[in-house]
Structure 1
Amino acid sequence: MLSKVECKLIKGDIVCFITNNNDIHAIGLLGVLAAGGVYCSLPRHTTQTEISSNMMTIKPTILIGNSDNFTLLTKMGQQFDCIKTILLLNEFCANKLHIKSQSIERALELIRDNDIELPVMSGLSDMATLVMSSGSSGTPKAIIRTNRNLLAIVAITQHPEICPLRADDIMLSTGFNHMCGQRSLFSSLTSGAQLVVWGDDHSNEAIFDGIHDMNVTNIFTVPTELNFLIKNQHKYNKTYLKTLRDVFCGGAFLSQHIYQQIYLEIIMTVAKM
């Protein structure tokens, strides 16, 4: 992650990413945690009103943006005293804006000063990430995840009877602003598996085409995508997702009827679901 001089990141600082999902974002997430910071993320297409509302809830000290929202985030930095640093995700964004603003990608190429011993030691009860709720029942709320929560999630999902990820497996990750996307990243790293990271702009069709094209073996999905698969099963034969072995579903209750339709009629080769 960025050095103390460049980023002024200190233990407990909240770093909010409002950008697309990619490898630099994943490395930045890990860097924030290694430096003792608190990771938070909002979808790239979050509106100005939503960002402003979330800033009052999150109170971040560092914002990470892209070429689409950097100007807006700069204005946010003038409105909220808690924000001390605004960075771009990568050099592509900086070049697109024709500015020399600091980016996470550029910082990764620099020699880091040894002024901070990494990883920064923190307690199990210390806050590690903030996950914003959907706001379906009102104003979105920041859900705190401690180090203990993250370790427990990884331990549970690495259990051989739940998610036996192996080094030759390929895990599909959703957005890092979702806990399931973060869990996919941590589990893949722990097991040595490969990780497919989807950007923000994707359709249900693209997800299933990606599973087929990239030989994905494990996914963490939501009922919406599974329902899409049922409604459009005529487009997918029973061998289209032949590499898929483990399917995890979260976010809402999955009825027995949907489960049977998917397992028996579509994903015949899935071992566990």
Structure 2
Amino acid sequence: MDDKILKSPLPPIPYPEISVAKYILDRLKQFSGQKTVLLDCPSGRKHSAQQVYDHILNIAAAFVDLGLNKGDVVLFISPNSDYYAIGLLAVMAAGGVFSACSELSSYREVYNAIEDTTAKYVVCTPDNLEDIKNIAECLPQIRKIILMSNEWTSQTDPKVVNYFQLYDYEASECSYDLPKRVDCHQDMAALLLSSGSTGRPKPIIRLHRNVINLTHQFQHQEIWGLTERSVHSCQNTFCHSGGLTFLLHSIASGAIAAIMPAFEGNKFINYVEKYKITSAFLVPSYVIFLANVDVSNRDVSSFEDIICAGSPLPEGIADKVFANMGLKYFRQGYGMTEVGFCTQVFRSKNLEHKASVGWCVPDSQVKVVDPNTSELLGPNQVGEVWIKSHQMTPGYLNLPDKNAESFDGQGFIRSGDAGYYDSQRLLYIMDRYKQILKVEGIIVLPSELEYLLLSHEDVSEAAVIGVKHSYYVEVPKAFVVLKPQRKVSEEKLIQYIDGLVNDVKKLRGGLTILQELPKTPLGKINKTLLQ
């Protein structure tokens, strides 16, 4: 049976059993104090290693003086920025727990996030302030609202505090030690919310050891291996595991974390050119943009390395982006918020395995099982991917029934993804099980149809879902976005696809051209909103 459980070909990587804040602060002290480690791309603000070190401790001291106790949750609602990055690390240094939701969240989504994470402090921007004040009247658990704004106006609400006043604290004058001591095996570093694609988002516990193990592994040159010469794009929201992980890895490596509020196609190219960005972690929709964007008159020569994860990448896109952007490395990886990264194509093998999401990283195990019988499956047999790792969450906060449903008796978590592994023990992800279609009993993969749509010269983005049908029960329906200045009818695109596939894969559900596809805060296509 053990030969059907995938393990890493790399040896274990021991990780320091300390808090996230101490890990980052210790790393910052190893670099030259003048070395730039944070860059806010829109404003051009830069922060040296010494400045980030001092700001983290000073703001941590301010949080403690505001009454923050060990284990208290601080929830951020803000677009990415340099100030946000420093603030979340300060929360951890003060012994608090970092949590966040998207600044684009609705009132009800924010209310639920604060309630479910038990947040006692909320950091927000002026755009969200009135909503947070109203929520605080309903949820007395909120002690303070920290407003992140340079344009401070006097507030009549005593709960509202100016974030930038926290910078005036001097940690060296405090009577307590910072960063606060934690038990890395028991204490939470973060509470990250699930996507909510299957219902109300779930608060996912991330212990200090989970975050440290993941961040420390990324220092390995085969796994990621940023250096002090790297400039890494941090455009994925910090409220998501990928955004937080790569921010921490960038700082810990001494690289420059080039922070952007979001991925905005042409702005991203501008930032690559202006700040000589070298690498990025991107979801497939961003990779597809870079595969098609015209950079013939742009200097993107610094940009050489992409890791892609988040959902299946359509076939052929890897080769296309590799050529268009002049990359040296392109790799896929696989994981989930509950686990972090559990598999990845290693750097030295990136040209050989562009379709795979790679081998297990150290201290991770993967098995593929029959979702109906839980039988372990062998090579090239499709089943549900189950994961076990030191990076893995111990569970969801205050959701015992969900925990019992999600984990098996051996500590593996059920991913909900369909996949298989080959004779080289490389993992391949096909699609979410719930998104796979069955037409007349035959499996139809949305990712396959999406790839074919993207092969059309006029299509820039595509998503395929299943819709009910009176005869076939379920059939594929497509949504596409056209490239700029391109015109093609929905009927022509349906004819194009139907001419490439067999009978069961035809777009009997139709095709709709949209101006844009709905996206999650991470940039993944939100198929739930297309249903």
Q: TM-score, normalised by structure 1?
A: 0.89
Query: Conserved in 2, the CA contact under 8 Å of 1:238 and 1:268?
Result: no
1:11-44 Cα offsets, whole Å, 9 max, x none, are: 0000001122211111111101111110011122
Aligned match of 1:86: 145
Q: 2:192 matched to 1:131?
A: yes
Aligned match of 1:241: 300
Aligned match of 1:182: 244
Which is further off, 245-254 or 110-119? 110-119
Once residues 62 and 136 of structure 1 are traced to their aligned partners in structure 2, the CA distance between those partners, rounded to angstroms, is 26
Aligned match of 1:13: 72
Return closer, same or farther for 1:191/1:204 CA change in 2, 3 Å cut-off.
same
Once residues 49 and 41 of structure 1 are traced to their aligned partners in structure 2, the CA distance between those partners, rounded to angstroms, is 15
Q: 2:326 matched to 1:268?
A: yes
Once residues 217 and 260 of structure 1 are traced to their aligned partners in structure 2, the CA distance between those partners, rounded to angstroms, is 18
1:13-162 pair list within 5 angstroms: 13-90=72-149, 92-95=150-153, 98-99=154-155, 101-112=160-171, 113-125=173-185, 126-162=187-223
Structure 1 or 2: more strand by fraction: 2
Query: Conserved in 2, the CA contact under 8 Å of 1:57 and 1:142?
Result: yes
Once the two structures are TM-superposed, the CA of residue 65 in structure 1 deviates from its matched residue by 1.1
For residue 287 of structure 2, what is the amino acid of its counterpart?
L
Partner of 2:131: helix, strand, or coil? helix
For residue 41 of structure 1, what is the amino acid of its counterpart?
A
Residue 209 of structure 1, aligned match among 270, 287, 292: 270
Bigger Rg, structure 1 or 2: 2
Residue 198 of structure 1, aligned match among 260, 266, 270: 260
Return closer, same or farther for 1:153/1:238 CA change in 2, 3 Å cut-off.
farther
Q: 2:309 matched to 1:250?
A: yes
Partner of 1:219: helix, strand, or coil? strand
Once residues 160 and 120 of structure 1 are traced to their aligned partners in structure 2, the CA distance between those partners, rounded to angstroms, is 31
Task: Report 1 or 2 for greater relative contact order, CA contacts < 8 Å, sequence distance ≥ 6.
Answer: 1
Once the two structures are TM-superposed, the CA of residue 4 in structure 1 deviates from its matched residue by 5.3
Once residues 64 and 256 of structure 2 are traced to their aligned partners in structure 1, the CA distance between those partners, rounded to angstroms, is 33
Query: Conserved in 2, the CA contact under 8 Å of 1:238 and 1:267?
Result: no
Once residues 178 and 149 of structure 1 are traced to their aligned partners in structure 2, the CA distance between those partners, rounded to angstroms, is 15
Query: Conserved in 1, the CA contact under 8 Å of 2:283 and 2:309?
Result: yes
Q: Can you give the 5+ residue segments of structure 1 that lack an aligned partner in the other structure?
A: none
- Percent of aligned pairs with the same residue? 26
How many residue pairs get aligned? The number is: 266
Query: Conserved in 1, the CA contact under 8 Å of 2:305 and 2:327?
Result: no
1:169-227 Cα offsets, whole Å, 9 max, x none, are: 10110221122221122112211111111114x52222233222221111111001112
Once the two structures are TM-superposed, the CA of residue 64 in structure 1 deviates from its matched residue by 0.7
Once residues 23 and 188 of structure 1 are traced to their aligned partners in structure 2, the CA distance between those partners, rounded to angstroms, is 13
Cα RMSD for the two superposed structures: 2.1
